[in-house]
Structures are given as structure tokens and as C-alpha cells.
Homo-oligomer: A and B are copies of this chain.
Amino acid sequence: MPRTEEQLNKIRKDRKQKIKDTALEVFAAHGYESASISMIAKKAGVSKGLMYNYFESKEDLLGTIMMEGIDEMLPLIDPDNDGVLTKEEFVFLIDESFRIMKEKINYYRLYFSLMMQPSVMNLFADKLNEVAAPYIKIFVDYFEKKGSKKPMLEAIMVGALLDGIGFNYAFNPDTYPLDDVVELVKEKLV
């Protein structure tokens, strides 16, 4: 009995996901350039040729992974946020951010490893801004409410702090005292 259309779709979907997951792993571990399609195909248990059935090119594979990674981070920002963040919400936002980071450490490694290459990052600039902008806005609002004189600058600084912690953690996830640092950050900021 031939497979139904539905079954085929599920197979396709699962396999595509498997390829993306594997590619992310390999990209994160070796860097985008050093990772080869062969390596990914073998690790994902599919043929090289099949990769091109699902993705137009290595660059497309990278693009899809990065775009989806960004998309997954978007809902993190409170959609009901009315611009007036309470302390509790602020703390929650930070906690969530680092929870996601731990969970999606490979995404972060990939982003960090590519951010210095304008030729690559330009492709994702707009999308990344979609994630960063609301963050900045929330931080600005928060510091404004707290009566800060330079809320934008404070927001930028906090952004840098969170990036820095993420970078250090991504560089050395095994020994970095992420949770303790995050606690300290919250203490300082609220």
C-alpha cells in the first residue's frame, strides 16, 4: 500500500528537520566554512544528493537555520508588553533569555562565529534587528521608567552585557558560571 500524501509530508518534514539539526550541530562545532556537506549528510544519515532536495545550497541551508533560529527567539518578547515593564517582568525576560541561550547554545555559537563576516551577516541583518529592536525598546522603556537620564545608553550597555555573558558562556559552556552571573546581573539591574 503506497504511503498517503500525509505520511510523505511527515517523512519530508522530519527529514528536513533532522538535516537542519545536524547541520546546526556541525556548523556550531567546526564553523560554517569548515563544515562540509558530506560531513553533515553522513551524520544525518542521508545521501549528499538528498541534501539538495531539501536545500538549494549550503548557503541556503545556513540561511534557513539562522532564520528559523531567529524566529524561535522572537516570541520570547512579551507580546502583550504595553511598554511598561514591571521589575518582575524584566527579571523574567532576562531569565528567559538565558534559559533559551542554554537550550539553543548551538545557535548562539553559530551566530557569534559568523557575526564578524559582513558578507554573511548582511543577509540576516533585517531579521536580527526584528529580534534586537524590541529588546532595546523594552530596556529603554524600563530605564526611562526608572528615571534614568540616558535610557538608550543604559539599554545599549545592558545589551552588551547580555551579549558578553552569552559569548563567554558559548565559548566555554562547561565551566562558565552562567547561573551565578545571571543572578548577579539581575541583582544589579533591578
Chain A contact residues, CB within 8 Å of chain B: 2, 28-34, 47, 109-110, 112-119, 121, 150, 153-154, 156-157, 159-165, 167-168, 170-171, 177, 180-181, 184-185, 188
Contacts and interface: CB of A to CB of B under 8 A. Distances in A.
Contact of A115 (B112, B160, B165): B112
Nearest to A49: B2
Given A109-B116, A184-B150, A168 B163 contact: yes
Contacts of A110: 116
Contact of A161 (B32, B157, B170): B157
When all copies of this chain in the complex are counted, the total is: 4
B116 A171 contact: yes
14 contacts: A30-B119, A32-B33, A33-B33, A112-B115, A113-B117, A156-B168, A157-B165, A157-B188, A160-B164, A160-B168, A161-B161, A163-B164, A163-B167, A164-B164
